[in-house]
Amino acid sequence: MNSNNDHNLHRGQGHKKDDAHSHLPSDPELRVKAIETLLLSKGLIDSKTLDELIDTYENRIGPQNGAKVIAKAWVDENYKKRLLDDATSAIRELSYQGRQGENMVVVENTADIHNVVVCTLCSCYPWPVLGIPPTWYKSDEYRSRTVREPRKVLSEFGLNIDPKIEIKVWDSTAELRYLVLPIRPDGTENMNEEQLAELVTRNSMIGTGLPENSK
Amino acid sequence: MSRLHDMGGRYGDGPIPVPRNKNNQVENSEPTFKHEWHAKAWAITLAAGALGEWNLDVSRHYRECLPPKDYMNYSYYEKWLAGLTNLLVDKKLISIEELKKFISLVQEDTSTEDLKENVKLDKRTWLAKDVQKTLGWGGPSLRKTDITPLHKIGDNVITLKYNPNENVIGGHTRLPSYAMGCEGKIFSYNGTHVFPDKNAHGIGENPLPLYTVEFKASELWGLAAENGNDKIYLDLWEPYLKIKT
């Protein structure tokens, strides 16, 4: 056993009595302001970078990206094959790649299988295709219960899965990021890719919902 | 033994906070950030991480190491902020004295505008012009090695029944306690990936074989399983697994 006591190295078993975070004010807005101002004054962060980051995930990266991937898989059998075979490359064909989506895996819902994604240890989520996770995904309730009682959890989203359908829960414990390929709703044969993408909801790509128009 | 973040399977949590619209339908599009301070806490954490003084596994471990009472009481982005604060001080990017000074400044509502003007940026600082490039590249954990994986697809394996971290007592690991000491089957092999149990403690990337392992719900939850044939999949590194004999 490594006997190194350097707190920087491991934080190991406990915490220091005088941990820095214990000095933070109780109002979170003031906490952020204090740290932001300090880092800005030391030149360790640039406010333009913060603006660019926030703008990117508020306006450019989000579930609309994943919806395009799903719609393409629905209309193009070869693309769907590539997507299930090597999701990272297939998703990159649409120029979605990078942070928190470096290793993508797509899991397909069928008449017999329903997939749902969770991260019990933190909040791992495929950013390039879904953006920043919603509050419920990061909640203790979702993180603790989904692996143990997925059917009950899904019912709280209004999704009642037939007992004959097998549920597969994907707990994102490493750097693989999961995206669910939902079943294309019936009666959408005449829709084009763009119209289909409109039906693909965020929750349907996590497994806690179905696309719009689904029965 | 586990820490509070390791909550998979825990009893006692209530209904999922599913947002619903006026018509009581599940709301699929809430704002990316509910409050401006959420966005700021998130962006500052990313920008500080880009200074290169720590990796993603270290920052995860710092959040996990918050005292249990704080971990439970803090909201999501408060955990991020607390973990970040401890990291900034431990990595000597800021001192406790500087932190206290700036807390007083903002609490007294003293103008800090002049402190932020004409600041010379540190050479490590992430610039706005590089944001898209850096995000697009990301931080892949896959590494090319000549390691031959020990297990084949379909092999039966058993997970360790305790925290597998060999270097640090109570150290970081990605084997959740609900799946410790359980029998599963190798579902897929994903190549060799940076090993968080070492990387979180600054002792090297040590890439190792990463498998996706399939567990039957009945194996993890026994009679409490909703449907014994449902499956749970976890991505687990080789040292977490023993061959089932």
- Claim to verify: residue B58 and residue B105 sit in the same structural domain: yes
Residues B112 and B149 in one domain: no
- B143/A contact by beta carbon, under 8 A: no
CA distance A52 to B56: 21
* Segment 180-199 of chain A within 8 Å of chain B by CB: none
Q: Are residues B143 and B202 in contact, defined by beta-carbon separation less than 8 angstroms?
A: no
Residue B32 has pLDDT above 80, yes or no: yes
Provide the pLDDT confidence category of residue B110 given band limits of 50, 70 and 90.
confident
Per-residue pLDDT at B232: 98
Q: Is A134 on the interface with B (CB under 8 A)?
A: yes
A11 touches chain B (CB under 8 A): yes
In a domain, B176, yes or no: yes
Contact B190, B182 (CB under 8 A): no
Three-class secondary structure assignment of chain B: CCCCCCCCCCCCCCCCCCCECCCCCECCCCCCCCCHHHHHHHHHHHHHHCCCCCCHHHHHHHHHCCCHHHHHHCCHHHHHHHHHHHHHHHCCCCCHHHHHHHHHHHHCCCCCHHHHCCCCCCCCCCCHHHHHHHHHHCCCCEECCCCCCCCCCCCEEEECCCCCCCCCCCCCCCCCHHHCCCEEEEEEEEEEECCHHHHCCCCCCCCEEEEEEEEEHHHHHHHHCCCCCCEEEEEEEHHHEEECC
Judge contact between A210 and A159, C-beta under 8 A. yes
Q: pLDDT at residue B2 above 60?
A: yes
Contact of B232 with chain A, judged by CB distance below 8 Å, is answered with yes
Mean pLDDT score, A117-129: 97
Q: Compute how many other C-beta atoms are within 10 angstroms of the C-beta atom of residue B189.
A: 15
Subunit contact A176:B212, Cβ cutoff 8 A: yes
Nearest-by-CA chain A residue for B92:
A8
pLDDT in tens, A34-87: 999 999 999 999 999 999 999 999 999 999 999 999 999 999 999 999 999 999
Residues B172 and B238 in one domain: yes
- Do the Cβ atoms of B120 and A32 come within 8 Å? no
Please give the positions of A annotated as active site.
119, 122-124
Q: What's the whole-number mean pLDDT along residues B96-101?
A: 96
pLDDT confidence band for B158 (50 / 70 / 90):
very high
Per-residue pLDDT at A1: 37
Task: Decide if A89 touches B, using CB distance below 8 A.
Answer: no
Its domain, for residue B81, covers: 36-137
Residue A113 touches chain B, beta carbons under 8 Å? no
Rounded Cα gap, residues B171 and B61, in angstroms: 8
Q: Structure tokens of A113?
A: 């299988």
Nearest to A121 among B6, B89, B190 (CB): B6
CB contact under 8 A, A9 and B33: no
Q: What are the sequence ranges of the domains in chain A?
A: 27-60, 62-206
User: B26 lies in a domain?
Assistant: no
At residue A133, does pLDDT exceed 70? Answer: yes
Task: For residue range B161-201, list pLDDT tens digits in order.
Answer: 999 999 999 999 999 999 999 999 999 999 999 999 999 99
pLDDT band, residue B245 (cuts 50/70/90): confident
pLDDT averaged over every residue in chain A: 93
CA–CA separation, B72 and B51 (whole Å): 29
How many C-beta neighbours within 10 Å does residue B135 have?
22
| The domain boundary residue, chosen from B137, B168, B191 | B137
Question: How many angstroms separate the CA atoms of A40 and A38, rounded?
Answer: 5
A38: left (phi over 0), alpha (psi -120 to 50) or beta: alpha
Closest alpha carbon to A102 in B235, B213, B237, B135: B135
Say yes or no for a CB contact (<8 Å) between B94 and A38. yes
Name every chain B residue with its beta carbon within 8 A of the beta carbon of A24. 81-82, 85, 103
Q: Which residue of A has its CA nearest to B234?
A: A171
**What confidence score (pLDDT) does residue B163 get?**
93
Identify from A132, A173, A198 which residue to disrupt to test chain B contact, counting B C-beta atoms within 10 A and taking the largest count: A173
Structure tokens at A118: 């969770």
Q: Are residues B172 and B221 in the same domain?
A: yes
Which structure tokens are listed for B122? 């540190």
Nearest CB among A99, A131, A140 relative to B32 is that of A131
Chain A partners within 8 Å of B90 (Cβ): 7-8, 20
- State the best of B54, B87, B135, B193 to mutate against chain A, taking most chain A CBs within 10 Å: B135
pLDDT (0 to 100) of residue B48: 98
CATH code for the domain in which residue B189 is found: 2.30.30.50
This prediction's pTM: 0.95
pLDDT digits (tens, 9 = 90+) for A160-186: 999 999 999 999 999 999 999 999 999
* pLDDT mean across residues, chain B: 95
Residue B137: other Cβ atoms inside 10 A: 13
Say how many domains are in chain B. Answer: 2
pLDDT tops 60 at residue A6: no
Question: Nearest Cβ partner of A8 from B8, B77, B90?
Answer: B90
| Domain match, B93 and B152 both | no
User: Among residues B137, B155, B182, which one ends one of the domains?
Assistant: B137
Integer Cα distance of B198 and B207 in angstroms? 9
Domain of residue B48, CATH code: 1.10.472.20
Q: What is A62-206's CATH number, 3.40.50.2020, 3.20.20.210, 3.90.330.10, 1.10.1740.10?
A: 3.90.330.10
Residue B21 maps to a domain: no
The last residue of a domain, from among B137, B172, B201: B137
Interface residue A114 vs chain B (CB under 8 A): no
Question: What per-residue string of b and e applies to B49-60 under the rule 16 or more CB within 10 Å gives b?
Answer: bbbebbbbbbbb
Q: What is the pLDDT of residue B29?
A: 86
Q: What is the mean pLDDT of residues B16-26?
A: 94
The answer to whether B16 faces chain A, any CB pair under 8 Å, is yes
Touching A: B residues 58-117, CB under 8 Å: 60-63, 65-67, 70, 75-78, 81-86, 88-91, 93-94, 96, 98-100, 102-103, 105-107, 112, 115-116
Chain B 153-192, residues with CB within 8 Å of chain A CB atoms: 166-171, 174-176, 178, 190
C-alpha–C-alpha distance, residues B51 and B53, integer Å: 6
Query: In this structure, what are the phi and psi dihedrals at residue B35, rounded to the nearest 5 degrees?
Result: -130, 155
Q: Which of A107, A25, A75, A32 is nearest to B35 (CA)?
A: A32
In the predicted model, what is the mean pLDDT of residues A104-121? 98
Q: Yes or no: say if A109 and A182 are a contact pair by the CB < 8 Å rule.
A: yes
pLDDT of residue A13: 52
